Amino acid sequence: MFDPLRKTVFSIDKKITQTIDQINKQEFVFFTKGDNIATLNKVMLYIIKNEHTKKIKIVHIVSHNESIPKNLAEEIKFLDREYPKIKIEFIVEEGIFGPELINQLSERWDIPVNFMFIGSPSEKFEHKVEDLGGVRLII
């Protein structure tokens, strides 16, 4: 009598678990200009509070003559230790930050643009946030 009901409940439970796993596997991207640890920590807190993910790529874009900020890699390692439930991947990508590069990375990593974030752009930034194809502004 209860066997069909048990099978239905088991099937629903399995689907819910698969959906939760799929949501948690979705990666997010934060583009950093070399932000300090306090700003990067705010990004992590935002992700934990507002997004259902266990993975984030922190990406620093450099042009030919630029170098990586001195403490950035160490600060990201620190965050990785502080947030063990979230896998943090630090990536340095050569290029010019803008809509074209964002779309290339979105396709390469199979991460929708609306799962990508930037901090507040400076006045020198030559693009409007709305021209970045759905990248979200946090902080």
- Is 26-137 in CATH node 1.10.10.10? no
What is the arrangement of strands in the sheet containing 136-137, beginning at the earlier edge strand?
A: 87-94, 55-62, 27-32, 116-118, 136-137
Among 131, 101, 98, 120, CA closest to 35 = 120
Listed in sequence order, the residues at least 6 apart from 94 whose beta carbon sits closer than 8 Å to its beta carbon are 61, 62, 63, 64
For the stretch 23-78, pLDDT in tens is: 656 799 999 988 789 999 999 999 999 988 889 999 999 988 888 888 999 999 99
> Is the pLDDT score of 1 beyond 70?
no
pTM, whole model, 2 decimals?
0.81
pLDDT of residue 12: 84
Listed in sequence order, the residues at least 6 apart from 127 whose beta carbon sits closer than 8 Å to its beta carbon are 98, 99, 121
